[in-house]
Amino acid sequence: MEVVSQEVMVATGAEKMPAHLARPASGGPYPALVVVMEAFGLNAHIKSITNRFAAEGFVAISPNLYFRQPNNVVQYNDLPGAFRLMGSLSDDQIVADMTAAINFLKTQKEVKPAFGTVGFCMGGRISFLTACRNPDVKATAPYYGGGMVTSRQANAKPPIAYVEGLKGPVLAFFGGKDAFIPIAEVDAFRDALKKAGKPAEVVFYPDADHGFMCDDRPSHHPQHAKEAFAKTIAFFKHNLA
């Protein structure tokens, strides 16, 4: 369906956070998604995939979680830059900013009160963390989120530590060629969700690498990207109906 998009400012505490907002051009109200950026920032690819979700019948917003930092979008070959930006975030601030994005969506007349989170790379972890810590989130689809069960940050619990707060199902994607996320971590994540009694499907593509959804990265896997996106749309249509 036809999409309209715009750049908006979201109040988070006393600050204003830039975000990309996309929605179907007419009709509604629609369920809403917060689309969480990769470690490289709120770039053209993330805005494009946010628009793709809107074209499938969702109001979608992608907040710039790095907005407090200068030079907050880096190229895909700039891993030191991405790690610098990622290191500037704290989980409590992330959850507050993500909550602000959800609260902004609540003010939009085209939005019905059915919220999901979806994210990629760093955003995979954030989308799951938010789902565990914000009861408004009724479904989450994290893509290749690292550090889910073992914290990679000093003085921060891993997202799975908050799993009891999860209010909806999980659809998670991982790749067997992902050097950032060992298969043992994927297994531990699946096992922890099962132990907690939370409905979850963990999709594992043995021949996929980290970033397989992104057509701007060498690791892009067109077939799995297409499959995963269709599966994600069906998941949110069912759980945010």
Active-site residue numbers? 121, 178, 210
Single out the residue of 174, 160, 155 nearest to residue 228, CA to CA. 174
Count of beta carbons in the 10 Å neighbourhood of residue 93: 14
Token pair recorded at residue 219: 């690791």
Question: Taking a C-beta distance cutoff of 8 angstroms, is the pair 24, 55 a contact?
Answer: yes
- According to DSSP, the β-strands at 15-24 and 59-63 are antiparallel
**Residues 6+ away with beta carbon under 8 Å from 208:** 174, 175, 176, 177, 178, 219, 221, 224
